Amino acid sequence: MKELDTLASELANRQDESDTSRKRLVEQSRDFKKNTPETCCRGSLEKFPVRDRQPLQEEQGAEASFLTIYKKLIDVPDPTSSLEYGMNQQKRAQKAQDLEIENQKLRETLDEYNKEFAEVKNQEVTIKNLREKLKELEDKLESAAQTKADEKERDLQREFVEKERVLQEKQLSAATKLGETEQKNQMLQKALESAQSELFDYKAKNEERSAAKSDEVELLVTDLERANQRNTAIEKELEGLRSQLQSASQSLQQAEQMQKAPNLEQAIDILSRSSLELELSAKEKEISQLVEEVQKLQTSNNKLRESVMEKTQRLEEQLQAKTTAFQKLEEKIQSQSDYEDLKRELGILKSLEFTNGADDGSEEGETEGPGKSLEMLLLEKNRTLQTENTTLKVTKSDLNGSDNGIRQAQAFASMIGQEVAAAYSQRQNASSSSDDQKSQIIQPIIVIPPGHSNISPSPLFTFGNGVGGHGYGAPFNSPFSGSNNSMYVNRQLLESYHWIDTSRVAKQIKDLLTQLNIGQRLFGELVLGMSQGSVSDILARPKPWDRLTAKGREPYIKMVQFLADPRNVEQLKILNAQRKGVDVDALAQSTVSPTQGNKSNSDAAINDILAKARQELDSQQNKLSPGCKSLEGNKRKRKKPQANRIIPSLWKTADHYAKSLSSSPTGLTKREPLAALTTEEYAENSELNTFDIIRRTKEVLEQHNIPQEPFGTYVVGMSQGSVSDLLSKTKAWENLTLKGKEPFVRMNIWLNDRWGSIN
């Protein structure tokens, strides 16, 4: 607006100037007209206003129009508000255009969403599938995490078991090395003592021989001196004879000179001369004999000196060899200077491991000598265990007549039943007929007489509300279920099972479940503490025992213990029937009736059980050795003062037998200490071919697919590493010690008995 004002002022000024310039032009034109002639400038003057008028008119018109517009604009009110309003309207119009474009896009997207929504509405099945897939993915993630955690736990357990096994092997190897070092030290000491005694004896004999030789040399020297003296005496006699000979020759010469003498004198001279010649010849013979004797004595003296020198040199060499061996023994003893420490540690181990709890054992230990070898202590410990077992069998008769209640009789009967079953199964070689007879012996002993409930709880199952009160609705507690932690498969139980035929156990369980129409879910929940899928996987794809971890072996041990007691199967049948709505009272009555009688007949049942057990024990005791019988007689004499300490150990043994069955349906054998070899067995196997025994043993193990671990445990009494070392590094029979010969004797007996302890 200011620009318009300035422009209007400029135009006004310019109009004023144009008016003044026009007036000046008019005046000048008038003056020009006056001063110039009219003819010469008429045309130019006429043309000039016309030519000048047109732009002036145009300029005036433009200025006039501008001024009119300017006047109108001056009259118009301030346009800023209207301009702002117009600009706002313009912006709103722009926004409306943008909103319209966006609305168009939203409509397009809405159409697309409507189409998709229409498609999604018609695809509820796909949504369900997607949800199921999502669930499966979540389950897979959880299962993967769980499997990883389980694998980590298994690895840790495997590492722990491996470290513990290595530690036990190290301890065993340390104990064996300690025993071997003790034996070596004893052998070295004995060898040293024998070497010293031999050396002293040899020195004494050498001194005696040297003294005898010196006496002989002295005698020879004295004989030689005597011979020399005789020689000198003979030489003197020879000189005398020579002088006599000279005198005789002189006399002969005189006789020759006296030939002219008479005949009588001549005869006397001849006679004297002949006698002298005879004496001379005799003396010469004697001299020659003496010279020969002297030469012989000199040669024998020289030979004797040479032999004495050779013998002394030989004795010196032997003495030097003995001294070097003596020095080596001393160095070896010095290198094993920690023998006293090892001996003290071994004494501590002996005192810890082989102390006798009974008073009579301690008295016998005091009367015997303190220095006993480790093998003797092990033999004594094995003997004491056997005598304790015999004592437990003897005290059976005392406990038979006592009225301590049904529970004590029940525990004692179960213990005796286990012993009878174990002995019976060992005698019958696991044949089918022995299985029937064994079941006939075990069943009446294991079944508890009725005293407190209609159905006695088994060691594997316990009902929540009691079966006698018809409380079948409550689930029972399995010792191996995940919810019950009162009993569990501990490490000691795992170690007691060295090998199980997993495929055979799985097949027996499947056949049993199929026969009884029991579901895998119920069996997994109540017996194994596992889900149905895990049970199905275990029964369908059983892995070999060697490839299972400690956690993977637990279900098979639970199944073995489940199959070991028929009461477990009966109670599982009852629970299965209760869940299916069958009359469990009739089923329980039918289950209990074959093995239980009336309440009034409980004492008779116990007496019957004990009588059967006593008969079986008597039949076994008749086969005992006289030494065991005498030991049993001594124990019977002392059984009254020992009653207080025998009864607790008896209940401990009964509890142990009740918890672990000595026989199982899989032919399984628990770990038991091997019996010591007798002197008769050593005598029968005095000379063996170790290489042939190792070859035959390898063939049998490979042919029957027997692992080294159970073979070492139940045949030779060694660990798997020791068995592998024994089979790979075989020594000759002559190079083995008494302890090293024992495994070969056991293997030979096992091979000759057709592998009875494994098959």
- The pLDDT tens digits for 228-257 are 887 788 878 878 777 777 777 776 666 665
Residues 647 and 740 in one domain: no
Of 652 and 22, the one with more pLDDT? 22
Structural domains in the chain (count): 6
Judged against a pLDDT cut of 80, whether residue 47 lies above it is answered with no
Residue 737 lies in a domain: yes
Residue 140 lies in a domain: no
Residues 256 and 331 in one domain: yes
Q: Which of 191, 178, 192 is nearest to 343 (CA)?
A: 178
Residues 332 and 221 in one domain: yes
Residue 130 lies in a domain: no
Structure tokens at 740: 């090293």
Residues 590 and 605 in one domain: no
Q: Which of 453, 469, 391 is nearest to 629 (CA)?
A: 391
Of 715 and 45, the one with more pLDDT? 715
Look at residue 205 in the predicted model and tell me its pLDDT: 81
Final residue belonging to a domain, choices 339, 370, 388: 339
Neighbours of 550 (CB within 10 A): 15
Residues 586 and 605 in one domain: no
Look at residue 406 in the predicted model and tell me its pLDDT: 44
Q: In degrees rounded to 5, what are phi and psi of residue 518?
A: -105, 130
Least confident piece of the model among 141-150, 197-206, 610-619, 738-747: 610-619
Judged against a pLDDT cut of 50, whether residue 636 lies above it is answered with no
604-632 mean pLDDT = 53
646-673 mean pLDDT = 41
Burial, 576: exposed, middle or buried (Cβ in 10 Å; 0-12, 13-18, 19+)? buried
Final residue belonging to a domain, choices 58, 92, 122: 122
Q: How many angstroms separate the Cα of 389 from the Cα of each of 356, 441, 617?
A: 15, 20, 12
pTM above 0.75, yes or no: no
Average pLDDT, the chain: 69
401-416 mean pLDDT = 44
Residue 375 lies in a domain: no
E strands, 620-671, where? none
Residues 241 and 254 in one domain: yes
User: What is the band of 462 on the pLDDT scale with cuts at 50, 70, 90?
Assistant: very low
Judged against a pLDDT cut of 70, whether residue 568 lies above it is answered with yes
Look at residue 753 in the predicted model and tell me its pLDDT: 77
Final residue belonging to a domain, choices 596, 622, 640: 596
Rounded Cα distance between 335 and 184, Å, is 13
Residue 257 lies in a domain: yes
Rounded Cα distance between 572 and 579, Å, is 11
CATH number at residue 186: 1.10.287
At 658, the amino acid letter reads A
Of 196 and 410, the one with more pLDDT? 196
pLDDT per residue as tens digits for the range 54-95 = 666 777 777 777 777 777 777 766 667 777 888 888 888 888
Residues 696 and 645 in one domain: no
Residues 640 and 736 in one domain: no
Q: Which of 45, 54, 11 is nearest to 25 (CA)?
A: 45
Judged against a pLDDT cut of 70, whether residue 396 lies above it is answered with no
Residue 524 lies in a domain: yes
pLDDT per residue as tens digits for the range 153-202 = 888 888 888 888 888 888 888 888 888 877 887 888 788 888 777 777 87
Look at residue 437 in the predicted model and tell me its pLDDT: 38
Residues 516 and 420 in one domain: no
Residues 260 and 317 in one domain: yes
CATH number at residue 514: 1.10.260.40
Look at residue 171 in the predicted model and tell me its pLDDT: 80
Residue 488 lies in a domain: yes
Look at residue 314 in the predicted model and tell me its pLDDT: 86
Full domain range(s) for residue 99: 81-122
Least confident piece of the model among 15-29, 260-274, 559-573, 676-690: 260-274
Residue 98 lies in a domain: yes
656-681 mean pLDDT = 53
Rounded Cα distance between 563 and 460, Å, is 10
Of 499 and 611, the one with more pLDDT? 499
Structure tokens at 724: 């592998």
Structure tokens at 261: 């003498």
Residues 551 and 654 in one domain: no
List CB contacts of 314: < 8 A, sequence separation 6 or more.
none
Residues 319 and 209 in one domain: yes
User: What is the band of 38 on the pLDDT scale with cuts at 50, 70, 90?
Assistant: low
pLDDT per residue as tens digits for the range 258-312 = 555 555 555 566 556 666 777 777 778 888 888 888 888 888 888 888 888 888 8
